[in-house]
Every structure is written in structure tokens, then in C-alpha cells.
């Protein structure tokens, strides 16, 4: 069980009452007379995110009131309880009444307690929650562990998180779960994954392709592909300073794939899991790939480089071609791929692309249920012509500046024959802290896909 979950044997747990305009009278009637008097004297209003600590008769902490949105309001945050782990004093707590969703509230409580302490000392909060009745604490623990792994990898700066360190993280996860790892680098990478090699050619930190496998060969094959660009300068088409500032998170797709892999393996889903990560650094040097260079991809498609800052789709193209050769039941790729997706949907709503309508409906429903939302965008085939090259099969960027998330997805579609392919264009970052989501790295779409796969193969 996760350390932020209290055990049923804890001597005392302090109650938390969830209160809103619709249930305020009934909640207050359940308190003692002196607690009601204190609430009135404090002028407490049951508004979302408001916390009031209630004194016990002996002067200790008797309980807490925490405000939620009233049922039926246009916007309800199922993760509102994620604020509590940062607001409550040390101790063990329990939910005295039901929040909007006890499972998501407990998950948010734990996710909100995340701290990244690798480079400076963090003060332990020592706030724990008793798992609510009917909630699977072991499964929540698997999810929190996966999200924590993802956040830690993305939050780590690039001087300590290059291709070699990303490989080490994959190997550590594989060792934990008895998985196998194969890594391709050097001449073998240039021969078998030429686009990955080209993107990483400008860096002193050698590129590589990481291939993790787990499970029985006769179980349904599920393949996850994660963009592992450990830092992106933009290459010779260099980014400006603002665009480059947060590019340590450009391996967020790889971190998300590893997070989901942990959830799957820890639960023991009946699948044959494969995780493919092209790990590179897009740097500038005399050996960097150049605009107008042409490379023959693993799939045999020739690609003209229209912009070296569109490197993520290049490394994914070779990785997806490899994934497709295995004929899996599902291929899902995760990538911090386009600013266009953020312009269209903002930072909190990842874009999902697939030709499989049934898969899209299943996945979006899981995302809604898990408070891990996504939004489907179209693979609009008429835009394929925007990727044409006069001297190669394909250009890595489109002509014109519109529909960038769609054209990036269409580029990737050329390298996948499988219908059950899901492309997820994620942001992997929370710029301003929100309940259950501290500022910094964020694990997007993994919980939704885990829920979907658990329903299929659990």
C-alpha cells in the first residue's frame, strides 16, 4: 500500500466532512453543539476548496470541513480532494461522508501529496488517508506509483536525464517486473532505425532504441510507443529561448509509456506488453541533420526534412514501423508532439487520433470516468497532400501553418498499417498547480488507457 494511505489498524483517524450548499444543513446537524458553534463563529462558507479545522473538546483536532461543488453544477472537479494533502496538519484521516466520487477523491488526495525532492530537501507532510470502503487501495497504489514515476522522470533536468539515463529507467522498471530489455544503438541503429539515428546525430549523447517486453507470447499483444526526446533545441532550425526553456519534458511520452507499463505489469494484466522508446537528444553540432536532407525510414518511405524541429514524428515513425511489424492488437503512442494541439485544446486536454471508432469511444469513456480527459481530433485525409515532397515520398512538415496536430498525426499514420492505433498528443505539464496536480510534470492519458485495458484484460 502507498505510504500516503493509512492502515485500518491506525489507532485514530480524523474525520473529513465534505460539505456543499446542498448538504450543509445535514452535515452540520451531524456535528456536536460546540462544533456547530465554532463553525458559525468562524463564518465558514461551504465553497469549493474551503477548509475549516474543527477543535475537539480536549483541544486537539476533532475533524475537518472541506467544501465541494454542489451536485449539478456545470463544473465539478472530481480531484478537488487533492488539495487536502497540502492543507491538512500531520495525521491520519478518513472520509466521514461521501465526496462526489470516493475513489477519485482518494486518488487525488494521494496524487496531490507528490513532491519532487531530488535536488532540494522537502519537508515530509505526514498526512495519510484511510482507503474508503469499497475502494481498491492496491490498485490506487499501482496508479500512484506509475504517475510518480512519470512525474519524476519528466521533472528531472536533461543533464541527468539523457538517452542513457532513460534506458537505465527502463531497465530498472524491467528488473522490478521481470521484463526483458533490448537496446539498439550505434551502427545497428543507423541501419535499422535511420530516422532515430539522424535526429540523435548532433548530440554527444548517443541515441538508442529501447525495446521492453513482458508477458506471455500467446496473450493479446499491446504495444506502447513513447517519444523519448530528452532535450530538444530544435536542431539547426533552433528554437528561441522561451521555446527551449521547458524542453526537458520532451521525453514526456516515454515517461508516460513507462508509467502505464508499470500499472499493467504490477496488476498482472493478461497481455503481452511491449514498450518501444526511441531515446535521443536533438542537439546542434557539425553532425546535426539538416533541412532538406532526405532519409529512408525503416519502413522504406523516404522523408525530406522540412524542419529539424519536427523531430519527434521522425523518431516515432521508425518506432511505429517496428511496432506494426509485430501485428499487435493495439498500438498506442504518447508524444509531446505539437504546439498546435495545445492551441486547439489547451494544456489540460490531450488530443487523441485514431481510425477505430469503437476504440475511440471506449478510450474517451475511460478517460471521462478516470478524470483523465482526452478529446478526439480527426485524421482528416484531405490534409495528406500538405505533406507532399517534390523529391521524396513525404515531407516531415506540412505546407502552411494550419492543422499542425492533424498533419503530424497523418505523417505518423503513413508508418502504421494497424487499424487499432491510438496517437496521443500530450502536454505532460501542469503550469499552475491544481487539485491533485502539483505544478510541474504531469502524467496524462496513462490512467485512462490503464482503465480501458483493465476492463478488457483484467
- The β-bridge relationship of strands 127-130 and 221-226 is unpaired
Residue 445 backbone class (left: φ over 0; alpha: ψ -120 to 50; beta: rest) = left
CB within 8 Å of 324: residues ≥ 6 apart: 331, 415, 416, 417, 418
Three-point CA angle 159, 160, 161, nearest 5°: 100
* Active-site residue (options: 239, 267, 376, 456): 239
Q: CA torsion angle for 141, 145, 146, 152 (degrees, to 10)? A: 160
Cell of 427: 502536454
Q: 174 by DSSP, 3-state: which?
A: helix
DSSP letters along 289-316, please? --TT-EEE-TTS-EEE-S-TT--HHHHH
Residues β-bridged to residue 272: 221
Grid cell 498482472 is found at: 268
Give the DSSP letter of residue 438.
-
DSSP letters along 398-431, please? -SSSSSHHHHHHHHHHTT---SSEEEEE---EES
Per-position b or e across 131-147, b if 16+ CB within 10 A of its CB: bbeebebebbbbbbebb
* Active-site residue (options: 227, 313, 413, 434): 313
Is 376 catalytic? The answer is no
CA-only gyration radius of the chain, Å: 24
Cell of 394: 513525404
> Nearest-CA neighbor of 137 among 329, 35, 7, 321?
7
Cβ proximity of 213 and 177 under 8 Å:
no
How many other CB atoms sit within 10 Å of the CB of residue 440?
17
- Length of the chain, in residues: 458
Calculate the CA 249 to chain-centre distance: 11
Is 313 catalytic? The answer is yes
Catalytic residues: 239, 313
Amino acid at each position: 500500500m502507498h505510504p500516503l494511505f493509512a492502515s485500518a489498524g491506525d489507532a485514530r483517524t480524523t474525520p473529513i466532512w465534505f460539505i456543499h450548499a446542498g448538504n450543509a444543513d445535514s452535515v452540520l446537524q451531524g456535528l456536536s453543539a460546540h462544533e456547530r458553534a465554532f463553525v458559525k463563529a468562524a463564518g465558514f462558507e461551504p465553497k469549493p476548496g474551503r477548509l475549516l479545522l474543527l477543535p475537539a473538546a480536549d483541544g486537539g483536532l476533532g475533524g475537518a470541513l472541506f467544501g465541494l461543488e454542489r451536485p449539478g453544477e456545470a463544473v465539478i472537479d472530481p480531484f478537488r480532494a487533492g488539495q487536502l494533502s497540502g492543507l491538512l496538519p500531520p495525521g491520519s484521516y478518513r472520509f466521514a461522508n461521501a465526496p462526489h466520487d470516493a475513489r477519485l477523491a482518494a486518488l487525488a488526495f494521494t496524487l496531490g501529496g507528490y513532491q519532487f525532492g531530488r535536488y532540494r530537501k522537502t519537508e515530509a507532510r505526514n498526512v495519510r488517508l484511510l482507503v474508503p470502503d469499497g475502494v481498491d487501495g492496491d490498485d490506487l497504489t499501482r496508479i500512484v506509483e506509475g504517475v510518480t514515476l512519470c512525474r519524476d522522470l519528466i521533472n528531472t533536468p536533461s543533464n541527468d536525464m539523457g538517452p542513457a539515463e532513460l534506458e537505465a529507467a527502463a531497465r530498472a522498471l524491467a528488473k522490478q517486473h521481470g521484463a526483458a530489455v533490448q537496446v539498439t544503438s550505434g551502427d545497428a541503429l543507423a541501419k535499422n532505425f535511420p530516422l532515430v539515428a539522424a535526429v540523435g546525430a548532433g548530440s554527444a549523447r548517443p541515441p538508442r532504441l529501447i525495446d521492453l517486453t513482458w508477458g506471455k507470447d500467446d496473450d493479446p499483444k499491446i504495444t506502447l510507443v513513447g517519444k523519448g526526446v530528452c532535450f530538444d533545441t530544435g536542431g539547426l532550425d533552433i528554437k528561441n529561448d522561451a521555446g527551449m526553456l521547458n524542453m526537458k519534458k520532451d521525453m514526456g511520452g516515454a515517461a508516460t509509456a513507462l508509467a502505464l507499463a508499470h500499472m499493467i505489469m504490477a496488476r498482472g494484466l493478461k497481455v503481452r506488453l511491449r514498450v518501444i522508446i526511441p531515446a535521443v537528444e536533438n542537439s546542434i553540432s557539425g553532425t546535426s541533420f539538416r533541412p532538406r536532407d532526405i532519409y529512408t525510414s525503416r519502413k522504406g518511405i523516404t522523408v525530406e526534412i522540412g524542419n529539424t524541429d519536427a523531430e519527434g514524428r521522425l523518431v516515432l515513425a521508425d518506432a511505429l514501423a517496428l511496432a506494426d511489424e509485430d501485428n499487435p492488437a493495439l498500438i498506442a503512442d504518447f508524444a509531446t508532439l505539437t504546439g498546435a494541439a495545445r492551441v486547439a485544446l489547451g494544456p489540460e486536454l490531450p488530443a487523441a487520433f485514431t481510425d477505430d471508432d469503437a476504440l475511440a469511444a471506449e478510450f474517451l469513456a475511460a478517460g471521462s470516468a478516470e478524470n483523465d480527459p482526452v478529446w478526439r481530433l480527426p485524421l482528416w485525409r484531405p490534409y495528406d497532400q500538405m505533406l507532399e515532397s517534390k523529391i521524396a515520398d513525404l515531407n516531415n512538415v506540412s505546407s502552411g501553418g494550419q492543422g499542425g496536430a492533424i498533419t503530424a498525426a497523418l505523417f505518423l499514420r503513413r508508418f502504421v498499417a494497424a487499424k487499432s492505433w491510438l496517437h496521443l498528443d500530450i502536454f505532460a505539464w501542469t503550469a499552475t498547480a491544481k487539485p491533485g496536480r502539483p505544478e510541474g510534470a504531469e502524467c496524462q492519458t496513462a490512467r485512462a488507457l490503464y482503465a480501458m485495458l483493465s476492463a478488457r484484460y483484467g
